[in-house]
Amino acid sequence: MTEVVTKQELDEAFAMFYGMAASLKDLASPPVEVADEERVAAAKRVFLKGIDANFATQLDACVHCGACAQACQFYLGTDDPKYTPVHKLDLMKRVYDREISPLSWLKKFIVKDITADDLRAQQELVYDSCTMCGRCNLVCPAGINIADMVALNRSALAAARLMPDELRFMQEGQEADGTIFGADEDLFRFRMDALQEKLGFEIPIDKPKADVLLVTTGLDIHLFQDATGGTIETLHHMGVDYTLRSDAYEGANFGLLSGHEGTKKKMAAKLANAAIEVGAKVVIVPECGHAFPALRWGAAEALGKPVEFDVMTVSEYFGKAVMDGRLKLEKDKEPRVVALHDPCKVGRWGGVFEEPRAILKAIGWELHETESNRAYNFCCGGGAGNFLIERANPLKRAGYRVKMAEIEKTEAKTLVVSCGSCRMNFEVGKVNAGDTIPVESLAAIIAAHLPKKEGAKA
């Protein structure tokens, strides 16, 4: 593998990026002043539109058993009952009970109407203390999809203009510029030129037709260039017919994370249309957990019709190539003992579990599984945009501690991840907790184990 970024460069980039991320709240424009009555009316409209027969049945199905609490790392990390996952649906349930439930005619006199203060208090429950990881869904005996209903709560708060300042800054920036963290086309081309020089081959950009459309993200453009570089180097090694697009390279979707439906669909449609235009059979999204569902399930929703391309994350695409023999990797002479973090949206929601494990097996690394793994894997503690919210720092630390406690028990020497947001949260968590375990990108690891071609220099 060509070293596209040194550890010192990565450390310096992390320090710069950490400082930039910490200032998002101050960079956000002042929120638009809205009357409380308008906030409540806007939130109710979103709730009532989103509560279909499926959600209504689930809202009535809860027996308050508390099983979901034991699945939530924010509850486990704080022992505070207010973070019980299903409690985060109480506001939505009140709207349902009063407005459209079978007994709404009676419950209007019993159940209190929601207020703007209720909505403000709801921010902590659905943004700060929930990453929509979906672990609670798996243990609910009634099969309640708490995570998706938390997402509806975020949409209701966004409509009420009550999303956290940090996520509002990101959403508004992406709505205006199509990217995040100011990673505009000039910076994208600058990074690609630098990667091209280090890798020693031309990186295809804006090819009119290609079998694969590769997408990156502002997080990787600014910080995790080893992940992007590793992906590109491996695609080149495999001889894949691929391209990046200078007008559709951003895989992150802060419409999805903030709850802003317009931005969510706009960003998904932009990538979907680019894939259709180049005739791509596959779109490879970057090591970014939420970029995966944002396009995999959001593309058809945004376009209003089925799409003809598959959406895969880096670990899935290369893992399948290893499993079917299209990608051969060299084994390490001295295997490492590692732990693997399955990103929630890629693993629990997307079912991508065996692919990254096949990669680690192919390079001869010894995987020590965490006690909770695969579908029951704990979140990194900062997903769904949570890692950017300053006031959520104590909760992020509590969630991180639950996850890291399991990693430490494995006695692994390295933590392997395939999501930039997870990687960022682990790095920040390490700084705050004084942990030292290296956190490495799976994409970079793959590239580091590509067989040398004949005639190549050692």
Answer whether residue 411 shows pLDDT above 60.
yes
Instruction: Confirm whether pTM is higher than 0.85.
Output: yes
What would the pLDDT profile of 3-59 be if each residue is shown by its tens digit?
677 777 777 777 777 777 778 888 888 888 999 999 999 999 999 999 999 999 999
- In this predicted structure, which of 90-94, 413-417, 451-455 has the lowest mean pLDDT? 451-455
Q: Which amino acid is at 364?
A: G
What would the pLDDT profile of 119-129 be if each residue is shown by its tens digit?
999 999 999 99
Architecture per CATH, 326-448? 3-Layer(aba) Sandwich (3.40)
| Fold assignment, 36-160 | Fumarate Reductase Iron-sulfur Protein; Chain B, domain 2 (1.10.1060)
CA distances from 16 to 13, 20, 181, 195, 429 (A): 5, 6, 12, 20, 16
- In this predicted structure, which of 25-29, 116-120, 178-182, 245-249 has the lowest mean pLDDT? 25-29
Location of each CATH 3.40.50 domain in the chain: 7-18+167-320, 326-448
DSSP at 70: G
pLDDT of residue 454: 53
Location of each CATH 1.10.1060 domain in the chain: 36-160
Q: How confident is the model at residue 171 (pLDDT cuts 50, 70, 90)?
A: very high
∠ Cα 330 331 335 (to 5°):
150
What would the pLDDT profile of 336-389 be if each residue is shown by its tens digit?
999 999 999 999 999 999 999 999 999 999 999 999 999 999 999 999 999 899
pLDDT of residue 3: 67
Number of helices and strands in the chain (H, E): 23, 8
Residue pair 91/149 in contact (Cβ under 8 Å)? The answer is no
CA–CA distance, 382 with 140 (Å, rounded to integer): 22
The rounded percent of the chain whose pLDDT value lies above 70 is 98
pLDDT of residue 457: 42
Which residue in 99, 160, 151 sits closest to 125, CA to CA?
151
294 CB-near residues (< 8 Å, 6+ apart): 251, 252, 253, 256, 264, 267, 268
Task: Please name the residue ranges forming H helices in 34-164.
Answer: 36-50, 53-61, 73-78, 90-99, 104-107, 116-123, 135-139, 146-159
SS3 132: coil
Total count of residues recorded for the chain = 458
CA distances from 44 to 41, 262, 439 (A): 5, 18, 43
Answer whether residue 2 shows pLDDT above 70.
no
pLDDT of residue 18: 72
Return the CATH number of the domain spanning residue range 7-18+167-320.
3.40.50
Residue 4 sits at φ, ψ, to 5 deg, of -85, -20
Q: Compute the mean pLDDT over every residue in the chain, rounded to the nearest whole number.
A: 94
Answer whether residue 455 shows pLDDT above 90.
no
Question: Rounded to the nearest 10 degrees, how much is the dihedral formed by the CA atoms of 342, 248, 177, 119?
Answer: -40
250-263 average pLDDT score: 96
Structure tokens at 295: 């396009």
